[in-house]
Structure 1
């Protein structure tokens, strides 16, 4: 998953990668500790455009990931399809800057490359992680687990009585704020 700058002939290069989980060691480690499990293959389509030493990468990823539902805790598979853009910039030598704050490449959302080679592994791995929803749901209509007995309400009904929500602000419901 590397490209030499000299391979970007005419300023534009299009690449397609079909990857497996073994290509991304950090994602593999997450999958072993109940994190998202990416199913093979993960497909990336990249369009690289070079302007001087800067390389703009417009990409698209397609992958299937096995997740745990945030409500009912059941495993389910979700297809993720996302577009992304990344800019690669050359690594520069550190120079002394007097009384000025220098922004690092990471602060600007840039990826640094060295020795005329672009390495996409970390960038693609990061894009896969960002494509996963923060609170994954197996379905929009997922009813989750009963807070009393723990039964999955998508599969079976329970006979628990619903307790009123303990809202501390209900005491304010009877106050008339319009008094003068």
Structure 2
């Protein structure tokens, strides 16, 4: 959904869905199970354009420790500011308050790209299938949540073998 900001006056409401294929997220440990539904408003001001909205989707993540699939509602609230690219902006120093402001090359704004960016920026760094997930065995790769792996018990550091004889 491309919006021509040159012809926009005031604000414009949006409500649309985007498929996972259209977004091309390219992440192996995150999958959309449903279309991403985006709703919000584009607000045109004199110096900038603000996009405020929410994104909702059903998603599946891989557990950080055991790689089991974890289903979760993925909800993102966002507020992004855009300014039209000006030559001085290429050499201007960025202030901390300007980090949420993006530059537009022309007077058009692709809302699908905004949705894609916001999903990627808001992916959790770590997600666990359960709080006490035991992960995978480092030796055999077994899911330690499902079986009691004895690999760690079998292998003893040879430096401690003398203690084995003490009783």
Same structural fold, with TM-score higher than 0.5 when normalized by the shorter chain: yes
Residue 22 (structure 1) aligns with: 21
Q: CA deviation at 1:148?
A: 4.2
Q: CA deviation at 1:53?
A: 4.0
Residue among 118, 130, 145 paired with 2:136 = 145
SS in 1 for 2:38: strand
Q: CA deviation at 1:79?
A: 1.8
For the pair 1:5 / 2:9, whether they are aligned, the reply is no
Q: CA deviation at 1:75?
A: 2.3
Q: CA deviation at 1:69?
A: 1.1
Q: Is the 8 A contact 1:81 1:131 kept in 2?
A: no
SS in 2 for 1:40: coil
In 2: Cα distance, 1:18 partner to 1:96 partner:
33
Q: CA deviation at 1:162?
A: 9.0
Aligned residues: 154
For the pair 1:116 / 2:99, whether they are aligned, the reply is no
**Greater displacement, 151-160 / 81-90:** 151-160
Q: Which runs of 5+ in 2 are unaligned?
A: 157-167
Q: CA deviation at 1:19?
A: 0.5
Q: CA deviation at 1:115?
A: 4.2
| Residues 28-67 of structure 1: pairs in structure 2 closer than 5 A | 30-31=26-27, 34-67=28-61
Task: Could you list the structure 1 runs, at least 4 aligned residues long, displaced by more than 6 angstroms after superposition.
Answer: none
Q: CA deviation at 1:130?
A: 2.1
Residue 82 (structure 2) aligns with: 88
TM-score, length-normalised on structure 2? Answer: 0.75
